Chain A
Amino acid sequence: MTAARRSADVIVIGGGIHGCSTALHCAMRGLSVILIEKDHAGRHASGVNAGGVRQLARHVAEIPLSNTSMALWHRIEDLVDDGCGFTSDGQVLVAEDEEDLRNCRARVDDLTLRGFHHEELIDATELRRLVPAVADSCPGGVVSRRDGAAIPLRATQAFKRKAQSLGADIREGVRVTRVSRDGANWRVETDHGVFLAPRIVNAAGAWADRIAADLGEPVPLEVIAPMLMITAAMPAFIKPVVILRKRKLSFKQFANGTVLIGGGYLGRAIRDENRTVLDWGKLATNARTVWDLFPIMRAAPILRAWAGIEARMPDDLPVFGKSAKHEGVYHQFGFSAHGFQLGPGAGAVMAEIIATGASNVPIDGLGIARFAAPSSHQPSLRA
């Protein structure tokens, strides 16, 4: 570990996959970096999410960032010296009925018009080939073949370690208490003293609204706790990740046979205690969807269920890019429960913006300015 450094070119607040990726890419560009994390890298959303590496069914505003990221995922070992458990067996959106399938077709057509070709409509035969165990009633779906999954905490820690090896100063167990202007610098006060840098990145996840509020840019961030369940090892029966459109489900079998079941049902987040409380009634609904779609799963033992603490924005899109108010402030949060895949690419794009002032990757529609309502009646979110 390097000697205690108190100032750097860039301070990244938050050690999730986004903060760690931005720290890594800044270090790769020769910038000195301090990353400040209140717990340990990947403690919350980045460490306990479903690990989906998904371009499938993304909002069009995110697709360029997602494309950049996918290219990095496919050479992740070169980037961070760790495979991150990344496997690429595709992700499949299963249409549960004909109407569902018509909507799938409309979506793929729309993407084609916009020049995106990663999503592909599939019929019942191809669906059965990809997902043999799916219930007979499903007529088709959409596949994104380069998609896959990784092990979230392992990936986040790999980004952290690689950033560290390139000189980034990673401070875990250090909590930011206040951010303010200090001449040409930003002054980041913590429970372990003050840090200074001309540029700061707010990648504080479910706590990012507090940093943003300190900077006079309040945002309507909602703290959510999406729940997941995992089963004991089952016979191998499915390779791609499966998601649904109408009902909430995300479904993935790992190489060791365990099956991860998610879909975005929310538990209760107690963010000041780093705790979540599960809602078994909702998990029961989640289990019923699996019961319907994958009869083979009915006797599977559920070994664990949990929820991460994440940030969701009202429009389910991240806040990404330069501050609308301040020079040297960058926001990278609010990924609304689908930020894991974006981590590698978002860090690369953010570092490019920090180092050069701009990036060729379009990020229109993701800026913080969209929440700067003229009437300025944002509710206080500091409670």
Chain B
Amino acid sequence: MNTLREIGQLAEHYDIAIVGAGPAGLSAAARAAELGLSVLLADENPAPGGQIYRAITTTPVADRSVLGEDYWKGGALVTRLERTSAAYAPGCTVWSVAPDEAGGFELGLSLGGQARLVGAGQVILATGAQERPFPIPGWTLPGVMTAGAAQIALKSSGLVPSGRTVIAGCGPLLYLLAGQLAAAGANIVAVLDTTPRRNWLSALASLPDFLRSPYLAKGLKLMAAARRELAFRTGVTALAAEGSGKVTGVKVTRGGATETIPCDALLLHQGVIPGINLSNAAGCAQHFDTVQHCWTPTVDDWFASSIPGIAIAGDGAGIGGAESAALRGEIAALDAARRLGRISEAERNEKAAPTRAELARSLRGRRFLDLLYRPAPQFLAPPADETIVCRCEEVTAGQIRDTASRLGVTGPNQMKAFLRCGMGPCQGRLCGPTVVELIAQVRGVSPAETGYYRLRPPVKPVTLAELAALPPTESAVKAVVR
């Protein structure tokens, strides 16, 4: 592996460019390089691993029991990549992927404050997942973070919340994090479970698969430990963060009664959804997945998107977890090699067969979890009018509902013109799903019918100076200082 620290070290062209160094990207890059392709693996973070294996090579958390054995499995993915000739660029942001006129792709990247355009024959987007927005009153207060954020702070910096900590929401990560933080010595005063009880009914049909799945043992262990050791409260139907300038408490409603739990940190989580900004901005088709209840890029059996030459591997094309992400990365890399003429279709199929079998096994039981931990409607479309939905532009649920009904706004792209929701720096990552949900609710239609933001590059901001320093023509690609 060749680690690139400066943008000038990037080649003008790679056979394949892979965006994201989580399990899918690491595996795809390793497999592609093992097949003899020239590979660029670009990743925004300072070290490989993505979020699930965040800081796997650099974590200061020495006690292996804190993060658990599943975490440490990530090391093997990095070790495998290290043995190849792939180019790995940490701290490198890919802000645009666009087809060029020769059948390949042009990637816009920034590294160390300098921007550049680089060519690639094939592209695999392995940009992973993000946590599903969890809009409650007060969620913008300092001290309110996602559960994933606390986990990242723990993995990458060995940081633990120092005061009274409340964890709220639903989904497997909630229990995992509660266990990890407790093991690391955090003072967890409450775990507030918002899983709707009726979800058990819809999930029940998928239970048999789950019982034969690898999730089972792991999941039960986590939940049992969390319930045993922590102040665990189920049936939570409403939440609000309270405080002025920072969070000082969380108002909780369960069984019709409301109480306020004082806290210094509130960690929110209600599952993860694909990060679709780059694929959407690149023009890849997407659809609304009704089981996982989220927008998902549309891919085929080889994880190829609607744009020939762009594949989407890992949780970015539907949530499947770390193990499945790595396998999907392998399969996408095999197909890219086939498209580039490196291997034949028959070779591709043969090499992919065992991986496919593993993939099927790794996804078994997923549906049960998806249905069981589907967020309650009031946490998808916040009923309190004052709830901020678009954090960047500070647009509230009430404003969105009002504009949708009064002005007959039918979709999120029109809503932007009236309220600016989705037009701040996060480009709708934290408001898109909620805005869609609110419009759908007002119109009485499905999220699918409501549509999603048309996202625009750059998917991460580029300074005018960086852009101005780009060479004027594609042929004269070279780096220039900010």
Which A residues have a C-beta under 8 Å from some C-beta of B? Answer: 40, 42, 47, 151-154, 157, 161, 172, 231-232, 256, 268, 275, 277-278, 280-285, 287-288, 290-291, 297-306
Contact = CB atoms under 8 A, between A and B. Distances in A.
A278 B283 CA distance: 11
Given A161-B408, A301-B461, A305-B456, A288 B468 contact: yes
B458 A277 contact: no
Contact of A299 (B283, B424, B458, B463): B463
Nearest to B475: A281
A39 to B, nearest CB: 10
A118 B457 CA distance: 38
Contacts of B411: 40
Contacts of B315: none
B473 interface: yes
A211 B408 CA distance: 29
Given A40-B411, A277-B99, A278-B98, A304 B464 contact: no
14 contacts: A40-B414, A42-B417, A152-B417, A268-B101, A280-B470, A281-B117, A283-B467, A284-B469, A284-B470, A290-B464, A291-B465, A301-B461, A301-B464, A302-B462
Given A232-B461, A281-B117, 16 more contacts: A152-B417, A157-B414, A161-B407, A280-B98, A281-B470, A281-B473, A281-B474, A284-B468, A297-B464, A298-B468, A299-B463, A302-B462, A302-B464, A302-B467, A304-B423, A304-B456
A159 B59 CA distance: 58
B38 interface: no
Contacts of A298: 463-465, 468
Given A161-B408, A277-B99, A281-B470, A299 B414 contact: no
A156 to B, nearest CB: 9
B106 interface: yes
Contact of A278 (B96, B424, B427, B469): B96
Interface string B386-424: 000000000000000000000111110110111010011
Contacts of A42: 414, 417
B235 interface: no
A291 B416 CA distance: 28
Contacts of B427: 303-304
A42 B458 CA distance: 23
Residue from B96, B457, B467 having most chain A Cβ neighbours under 10 A: B467
B108 interface: yes
Nearest to A151: B417
Contact of A287 (B101, B410, B420, B467): B467
Nearest to B476: A281
Q: Which 6 A-B pairs have the closest CB atoms?
A: A153-B417, A301-B461, A284-B470, A287-B468, A304-B456, A287-B467
Contacts of A161: 407-408
B472 A285 contact: yes
B467 A301 contact: no
A280 B94 CA distance: 13
Interface of B: 96, 98-99, 101, 106, 108, 117, 283, 407-411, 413-414, 416-418, 420, 423-425, 427, 456-458, 461-465, 467-474
A287 B427 CA distance: 21
Contacts of B420: 256
A231 B464 contact: yes
B472 A281 contact: yes
A301 B465 CA distance: 9
Nearest to A291: B468
Given A157-B407, A298-B463, A302-B458, A47 B470 contact: no
Nearest to A256: B420
A172 B461 CA distance: 34
Nearest to B454: A306
A157 B98 contact: no
Nearest to A297: B464
Contact of B283 (A153, A256, A275, A302): A275
B470 to A, nearest CB: 4
B480 to A, nearest CB: 10
A297 B473 CA distance: 23
B278 to A, nearest CB: 14
A300 B473 CA distance: 23
B467 A284 contact: yes
Contacts of A305: 456-458
Contacts of B98: 277-278, 280
Contacts of A278: 96, 98, 457
Contacts of A40: 410-411, 414
B17 to A, nearest CB: 15
A298 B469 CA distance: 11
Nearest to A267: B98
Contact of A284 (B409, B410, B472): B472
Nearest to A164: B408
A168 to B, nearest CB: 14
B417 A280 contact: no
B98 to A, nearest CB: 5
Contact of A280 (B99, B108, B423): B108
Contacts of B464: 231, 287, 290-291, 297-302
Nearest to A261: B464
B458 A284 contact: no
B414 A280 contact: no
Contacts of A280: 96, 98, 106, 108, 117, 467, 470
Given A40-B411, A284-B468, A157 B117 contact: no
B461 A303 contact: yes
Contacts of B423: 303-304
A258 to B, nearest CB: 8
Contacts of B472: 281-282, 284-285, 288
Nearest to B100: A277
B231 to A, nearest CB: 42
A306 B456 contact: yes
